[in-house]
Amino acid sequence: MFISFGCGLVLAAAGLSAGEPSPAALQKLSPRAAKALASAKLGPLGAVAHPADNPSTPAKVELGRLLYFDTRISGDNTISCATCHDPEVAWAETDPTSIGIGHKKGPRNSPTVLDSAYYQVFFWDGRASSLEEQALGPIENPIEMGMPMGNLLGKLDQVAGYKPLFKSAFGDEKVTADRIAKAIACFERTVVSGPSAFDEFLAGKADALSEAQVRGLELFLTKAGCMPCHRGPFLTTHQYRSSNMTDADLGRFDVTKDPADKRMFRTPSLRHVAMTPPYFHDGSEPSLEGAVFFRANNVRMQDVKPDTELRLTASEVKDLTRFMESLNGKLPAFQPPTQFPK
């Protein structure tokens, strides 16, 4: 039900099935890039998958929407999920790292919730494996929402207006941590983007990308070497790769304690990346062009190809950045709730 953004229509009009680049798109590229494009399996995001034990229902989505925006789920009634994942700024935040309860500053940049349903692992270090598992983390986190679960359950139980909502979502009025997580996750799975200019280009609208964006795509697929990690419809392998940054945050190592995982972070999706500055797990890079430069030249030169012939020029970095801008999907039409259960 969540693919009703017209993506299917664009594809059908072009006589294509998902994931198969159109001849019109391939013609714009060198043979080498065209081959890489096919093997990278770039293409439209399919429908969101729902876990068997948490099928989506309108009642759960509505309860989840209210909980997502309700500041009462934080310890001092000031912070909601939307404080750090704000629909006004593409469901992310503009601070380099999050500021939570009592103005406490966290160590990491808040990723966007938009399309997060397509990740296979969650958080920069992959410590949660589903949106359900993820949702309770920030509530109890002492520097995010600072609300111990026992207290939250008691508090929500006192809000009479939530009772009928829990009942229609789950069959009875009981407020449990599991139900809160399930409702929020169901809501998050509705926060998905519509097709990007790049999706339209792949589907056959050859002029959906500017000349600079086509040059950027060509680089992305060839010389710039982005595709080994940023591939598939969601433009990520979901794998942990080196950040090449400082030792301030050891990333995946904190979860596994395996020395090989030091400074490794989950490869982020590049969909709508232009809408969610600042960049990287620590929000240290304010501009997209800077982020592209860093990944293209600094990181790759050290790790992937120590061949300086492959270093990108300033104008190539610009083209690559223009291409990234073509990955912005249409934002879901959305109104935050104006009234909360009393």
Q: Identify residue 52 by its one-letter amino acid code.
A: A
Binding mask 37-76 for ligand HEC (x = CB under 6 A): -------------------------------x--------
Answer whether 162's CB lies under 8 Å from 175's CB: yes
Cα–chain center distance at 296: 21
Tell me whether residue 135 is exposed, middle or buried, using C-beta atoms within 10 angstroms of its C-beta: 0 to 12, 13 to 18, 19 or more.
buried
Dist CA 192 CA 238 (whole Å): 18
Tell me whether residue 312 is exposed, middle or buried, using C-beta atoms within 10 angstroms of its C-beta: 0 to 12, 13 to 18, 19 or more.
buried
* Binding of residue 273 to ligand HEC (CB under 6 A): yes
Answer whether 47's CB lies under 8 Å from 296's CB: no
CB atoms within 10 A of CB 15: 9
Distances (CA, A) of 255 to 110, 138, 246: 18, 17, 18
Q: Quick one: tokens of 61?
A: 């989505």
Tell me whether residue 159 is exposed, middle or buried, using C-beta atoms within 10 angstroms of its C-beta: 0 to 12, 13 to 18, 19 or more.
middle
Binding span for ligand HEC by CB under 6 A among 4-12, 25-33, 121-129, 192-200: 121-129
Contacts of 335 (CB under 8 A, 6+ apart): none
Least distance in Å: CB of 3 to ligand HEC? 20
Question: Which residue's structure tokens are 């876990």?
Answer: 51
* Binding of residue 81 to ligand HEC (CB under 6 A): yes
Binding span for ligand HEC by CB under 6 A among 11-19, 149-157, 164-172, 291-299: 291-299
Binding span for ligand HEC by CB under 6 A among 7-15, 47-55, 190-198, 266-274: 266-274
* CA neighbor of 145 nearest in space, from 206, 193, 177, 99: 99
Question: Which residue's structure tokens are 């934002």?
Answer: 331
Question: Which residue's structure tokens are 């969540």?
Answer: 2
Site for ligand HEC in 295-334 (CB under 6 A): 295-296, 304, 320
- The site for ligand HEC, by CB under 6 A, has a size of 52
Q: Which of 22/252 has CB closer to ligand HEC?
A: 252
* Binding of residue 146 to ligand HEC (CB under 6 A): no
Binding mask 3-42 for ligand HEC (x = CB under 6 A): ----------------------------------------
Least distance in Å: CB of 12 to ligand HEC? 31
Q: Which of 201/323 has CB closer to ligand HEC?
A: 323
* Binding of residue 175 to ligand HEC (CB under 6 A): no
* Binding of residue 110 to ligand HEC (CB under 6 A): yes
Residue of 11, 84, 90, 169 interacting with ligand HEC (CB under 6 A) = 84
Binding mask 219-248 for ligand HEC (x = CB under 6 A): -----xxx-xxx----------x-x-x---
* Binding of residue 117 to ligand HEC (CB under 6 A): no
Contacts of 276 (CB under 8 A, 6+ apart): 89, 90, 92, 111, 112
Binding region for ligand HEC (CB under 6 A): 68, 79, 81, 83-85, 98, 100, 106, 108, 110-111, 113, 116, 119, 122-125, 131, 134-135, 138-139, 144-145, 184, 188, 224-226, 228-230, 241, 243, 245, 265, 267-268, 270, 273, 276, 279-281, 291-292, 295-296, 304, 320
